[in-house]
Amino acid sequence: MNFQQSELTQQVAHTARDFANQYIKPHLMEWDESQEFPLHIFKAMGKLGLMGVFVPEQYGGSGMGYFEYNVAIQEIAKVCGSIGLSLAAHNSLCTGHILAFGNEEQKQKYLPKLASAEYLGAWGLTEANTGSDAGNMKTTAVKDGNDWILNGTKNWITHGKSGDIAVVICRTGEPRAKDNCTAFVVERGTPGFSGGKKENKLGMRASETAEMIFDNCRIPDANRLGEIGAGFKQSMKVLDGGRISIAALSLGIAKGAYEASLQYSQERYQFDQPISNFQGISFKLADMATEIAAAELLIHQACYLKMAGKPMTKEAAMAKYYASEVAVKVSTDAVQIFGGYGYTKDFPVEKFYRDSKLCTIGEGTSEIQKIVISREVLR
């Protein structure tokens, strides 16, 4: 493994950092307070190539890899976790699923529009009563001639209302039966497909999270992704890559909170000296720096294995689990370092604190990551 960033990776990081500071930072609290989903920001990122990082150039994408994707999400999340989350969901889940399992016609049809952000992507697996119990999902797809009829509701879906297309996993077999789920692409505007309740969240408030409702939604068999019954297996592979993106999101939030704390500790004076001189503060900063470095190495390992085409289920789960827990710990300590100011919206760490918690829940909770890791180590 080479730990030196390539010139391309550095360029992507620089581009994402400049964009975040110029176009996101001035508005992030406004969007957070109003829960506005700033669609125009994603259109602008599409022009920079950040909405089709993995998509090959032949389909209008950037044709880059996980190292570039990792730093792009980190730099955006260092400023705003909400925008980083939506960037990750669009790239890893919706676009990533079509790229990995779509046929040539489907790739030609959807990938160019996703890569340019003409289309915003959503991905629907989770339901209200079947979060991690996906084999028992209630959303069904029933074959009717050359069509499928979809019925049910998906919950907690990023871009559930605003997404132009969604990859949706539906049950096509009996509950809990083997290979009982199939993936489909559903376009916004299809009769019977609508957005439902938008969630009022603790953090990540500028990233839209909403229901997707299917009421006798008829789609052609041409919208099926891969074989009938392969949806769950496809989803697990998509989530392996998705966990790297949530790890990167977590790391960006942790770095943002740490950098703010480091600067504040050197500017804030008590007893005629900067508070960074006090061991209680300096030791917190030492822990933050160490845990961030460890999370970054785990992510680097997962990216390396992913790019090499090697198995990385365990490593991706480790990176996601550890980095998300680090994000929560670092942002909590950041609020403590800021003291009373850290509890106000005049300083950035309260937002890092609120945003960080989702990272331990989305794309598999920390507990689910432990199940994945333990299964792998006990093989």
Active site residue 363: yes
CA distances (Å), origin 85, targets 63, 88, 166, 205, 242: 21, 5, 16, 10, 11
Instruction: Kindly compute the dihedral angle of the four CA atoms of residues 254, 243, 185, 310, in this order, to the nearest 10 degrees.
Output: 140
Please tell me the distance from the alpha carbon of residue 12 to that of residue 250, in angstroms, as a whole number: 18
Q: Which of 68, 211, 315, 363 is catalytic?
A: 363
CA angle 313, 305, 204 (to 5 degrees): 60
The neighbouring-strand residues paired with 185 are: 167
Please tell me the distance from the alpha carbon of residue 171 to that of residue 166, in angstroms, as a whole number: 16
Please tell me the distance from the alpha carbon of residue 202 to that of residue 205, in angstroms, as a whole number: 7
CA atoms lying within 13 Å on the CB side of residue 278? 12
Is 236 within 8 Å of 328 (Cβ atoms)?
Answer: no
Alpha-carbon Rg of the chain, whole angstroms? 21
The two structure tokens encoding residue 104: 């040539």
Active-site positions read 363
